[in-house]
C-alpha cells in the first residue's frame, strides 16, 4: 500500500466527527483491508442492556469505509448485508476487520467480521461499493 495514502487515511479518520462520537479507533489499514476497534460502553446499550445493533453496524461500517478507500480512490457503499450472531459482555473491546474479496474497475466486495476481545464472532457482513474514478479528496 502507498504510504502516503495510509498516512492520509489515518489523519482523516482521526478528524471524523462520527468516529469520535462512537469511540472508533483505526488500528490498521492495508490495501483492501482495515481493522477498527471500539469499546462497548454503557451509552451503546439497547433497551435490554446489550450492545445496540446500530453500534455494531457502525463499527463494521467504519472498517468497510477504510478498506474500500484504501486504494486511494473514492468508493461509496451500495449495499451492506449484516447478520448479528451474538452480543458481547459489557466493557468488551470490539473489533471489526474488513477484507476485500473481489475488486473490479467499478465495484468491490468486502467480508467484514466483528468480534469481541475473547474472539467471539458478533456479526458478519458482506458489503459492496461503487468505485468512483476520483482520487480521495484529502490526498
12: exposed, middle or buried (Cβ count in 10 Å: 0-12, 13-18, 19+): middle
Q: Quote the pLDDT of residue 81.
A: 98
Looking at residue 106, its pLDDT comes to: 98
> What is the Cα–Cα distance from 6 to 21, expressed in whole angstroms?
23
Specify the pLDDT at position 129. 98
As for how many domains the chain has, the answer is: 1
Q: Which residues of the chain register pLDDT less than 70?
A: none
pLDDT at 80: 98
pTM over 0.75: yes
Q: What is the pLDDT of residue 112?
A: 99
Question: Can you give the three-state secondary structure of the chain, one letter per residue?
Answer: CCHHHHHHHHHHHHHCHHHHHHCCEEEEEECCEEEEEEECCHHHECCCCCECHHHHHHHHHHHHHHHHCCCCEEEEEEEEEEEECCCCCCCCEEEEEEEEEEECCCEEEEEEEEECCCCCEEEEEEEEEEEEEEECCCC
pLDDT given at position 69:
98
Domain range for residue 115? 3-135
CATH for 78 = 3.10.129.10
Q: What is the pLDDT of residue 103?
A: 98
Amino acid at each position: 500500500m502507498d504510504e502516503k495514502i495510509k498516512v492520509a487515511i489515518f489523519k482523516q479518520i482521526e478528524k471524523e466527527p462520527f468516529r469520535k462520537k462512537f469511540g472508533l479507533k483505526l488500528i490498521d489499514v492495508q490495501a483492501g483491508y482495515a481493522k477498527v476497534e471500539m469499546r462497548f460502553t454503557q451509552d451503546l446499550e439497547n433497551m435490554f442492556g446489550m450492545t445496540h445493533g446500530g453500534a455494531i453496524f457502525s463499527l463494521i461500517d467504519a472498517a468497510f469505509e477504510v478498506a474500500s478507500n484504501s486504494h486511494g480512490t473514492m468508493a461509496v457503499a451500495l449495499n451492506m448485508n449484516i447478520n448479528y450472531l451474538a452480543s458481547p459482555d459489557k466493557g468488551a473491546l470490539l473489533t471489526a476487520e474488513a477484507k476485500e474479496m473481489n475488486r473490479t474497475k467499478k465495484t468491490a466486495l468486502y467480508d467484514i467480521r466483528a468480534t469481541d476481545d475473547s474472539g467471539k464472532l458478533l456479526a458478519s457482513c458482506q458489503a459492496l461499493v461503487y468505485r468512483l474514478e476520483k482520487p480521495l479528496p484529502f490526498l
